[in-house]
A and B are shown apart, each in its own frame.
Chain A
Amino acid sequence: MKVILVDQTNTGLLYVGKENNRSSSVIANILKNGLVDVRLFAIGDQNPVHNLSNNDLYKDKKHYSISTKSFLSNEFFSPLKESLQNEIYLKRRELIELRMPIVERLAFLSSQALHFVYQLPHFIDVENDLYHAIKESDSELEDWHYGIKEYAHTNQLEPKHAYREIKLEIETIRHIKIKIYSLIKHFSDKINLSNNKEELEAISNEIFNKFIKDNYI
């Protein structure tokens, strides 16, 4: 599967993500938020556009039009007629070309940061169940959700200690995720409000400093 961005003024293709790449979807969404009248599609590998990449669009300077009527046929994409390459579309291509490397850097560094987040072993989904167990317990009244009791019993702890331990883990994980999410939002907005190379380069440095250099204390 790949994600693509399509300009709604002329159905021109603006962005093609990498195959089965979670970051591509993050990148496409951030880029989309900085432009109006742009649609995001997810396409399967049977779709002919699947063979295209951003290099075709930006390195080879090709222009394609997407037909949303025929998702699977070979007519799904065709060269975009010069007459349809309107000013708005061309400006958007220019902006995407400028912003894309910075958004890619943001996506990579934030994803790397998330890998540092302490993960609960074996199954990450348990985080929500544990959060629920904490929310449903009352530590002052010593009224414990069954999940807390189960954990306490298995680990030979008193329920109050089990509660404190789980709460610490969950709060830590959630807090780091929120910190990273806040930074993604902060920088996405900055990138999408910027239209020139110098400004974007400064933002790119700022991203690198925040995710990497500032941590060398």
Chain B
Amino acid sequence: MSVSLYCYNPIRFSSFEKQDIKTFNELYKIINFGVAFIDRTEIIKTPVRTAIPLQLKLPAYDSTFNMSYEECCQARVREILKKQEELDVPINLLYSGGIDSSLILVSFIKELGMTEAEKRIQIMLHTESIEENPWMWHRILRRSNFKMIASEEMSNNWNKEKLIVGGEFNDQLMGSEMIRKLCEWKGDRILHQPWTETLMTEFHLYMNLSKEDAEHWTKVFLEHVKRAPCAVETVYEWWWWINFTCKWSSIYFRLLMHVKNKALVTQEYLDNYYFQFYGDENFQKWSMVNRTHKIKDSWLSYKWHSKELIAEVCGEEYKSKIKRGSLWRLLSYTIGAEAIDQNYNFIEKVKPIDWYNSNNSFII
């Protein structure tokens, strides 16, 4: 059986002259250029031959799941601390100052108390992290005894002497920045409207897809959404589900694509030393069940519950913070791999034709 890709840089496939690839690439008028779109429900077949590693498979829907988001955070903290005790290495928290990494820090402090957290966690940060969350900086970090490391060092310093904890996947649990685009299109009121095929095609047209491609993508998404194990009823939920299922792999690997010590990245390494905090089974089950704690009625309320939990430590002002991307700072201006295959081989120069999948959902 031929090898497939776990992740790839889609920009490298953009000049591939085939009708199905062109239709597929129209997607990048809607989502960011850098996202490798891989459906982990395996309903949408893309023109790129991909596979999903075991750790990224979608857990089964469990309608009886009743842990709160906060309980999921604390359970995840305990799991990571247990792993740390086993390996006896420090935890390096990738702290961008954004909502996701701020909540991780808060959760660790809640679990351990400040003194113990300072001993066990090292903060990898950027000067932007200070600007991103000045309350955390002035109230907690600036006079703390946390060891701090410039996150710019990150891609040069991957090894087994630390356990990496990052804040990826919270956006996929909550809906992602796509929600902002929806609100720009029709205002906040669009979020909780029931989706219709016409409405979703209109959105594609608003994002500058041609009529034919807009309709085709609606058809592809519709097939995907209809087969969701949980309820997907509103426009907001439609995009949450697509993000949750189809961006997961890309998000997991985007940091790893920039690792310089490539030989380090094996299944054993990923299982033991690489933790994207919001990616465990509890959080995913929570996301499939919960309909109240992700967003209220506006883009500004996106991740409102996460912000409330952070505000317990950073102060009330934090609740007015909005979501903005901060990871690009870490990965910008470096040359990463163009793909990672399912044997964790890093491919520096990808040849699109080698990974073409003719059995895809975009042959019209």
Contacts and interface: CB of A to CB of B under 8 A. Distances in A.
Q: Do A and B bind each other?
A: yes
A216 interface: yes
Contacts of B34: 213-217
B142 A165 contact: yes
A113 interface: yes
A194 B331 CA distance: 28
B333 A118 contact: no
Contacts of A213: 11, 33-34
Interface string B241-276: 000000000000010000000000000000000000
B152 A171 contact: yes
B332 A214 contact: yes
Interface of A is mostly: helix
A197 interface: no
B143 interface: yes
Contact of A209 (B11, B32, B328): B11
B9 interface: yes
Interface string A30-69: 0000000000000000000000000000000000000000
Interface in B137-182: 142-143, 148, 150-153
Contacts of B328: 215-217
B255 to A, nearest CB: 9
Contacts of A214: 9, 11, 33-34, 331-332, 336
Interface in A138-180: 157-158, 161, 164-165, 167-169, 171-173, 175-176, 179-180
A108 interface: no
B60 interface: no
A211 interface: yes
A183 interface: yes
Interface residues of A, number: 27
A210 B327 CA distance: 16
A217 B152 contact: no
Contacts, number: 70
Interface residues of B, number: 27
Interface in A171-217: 171-173, 175-176, 179-180, 183, 186, 209-211, 213-217
Given A172-B127, A213-B34, A214-B9, A180 B333 contact: yes
Nearest to B34: A217
A175 B153 contact: yes
Contacts of B148: 164, 168
5 contacts: A171-B152, A211-B333, A213-B11, A215-B331, A216-B34
B334 A179 contact: yes
Q: Top 6 A-B pairs ranked by shortest CB distance? A: A175-B152, A171-B150, A217-B34, A216-B32, A118-B127, A216-B33
B32 A172 contact: no
Interface in A99-134: 113, 118
A64 B231 CA distance: 74
Interface of B: 9, 11, 32-35, 125-128, 142-143, 148, 150-153, 254, 325, 327-328, 331-336
B142 A161 contact: yes
Nearest to A158: B143
Given A209-B11, A217-B327, A176 B32 contact: no
Contact of B150 (A161, A172, A210): A172
A176 B143 contact: no
B143 A217 contact: no
Contacts of B151: 172
A213 B33 CA distance: 6
A168 B125 contact: yes
B28 to A, nearest CB: 9
Contacts of B334: 179
Given A216-B32, A217-B254, A161 B143 contact: yes
A176 B333 CA distance: 8
A99 B152 CA distance: 32
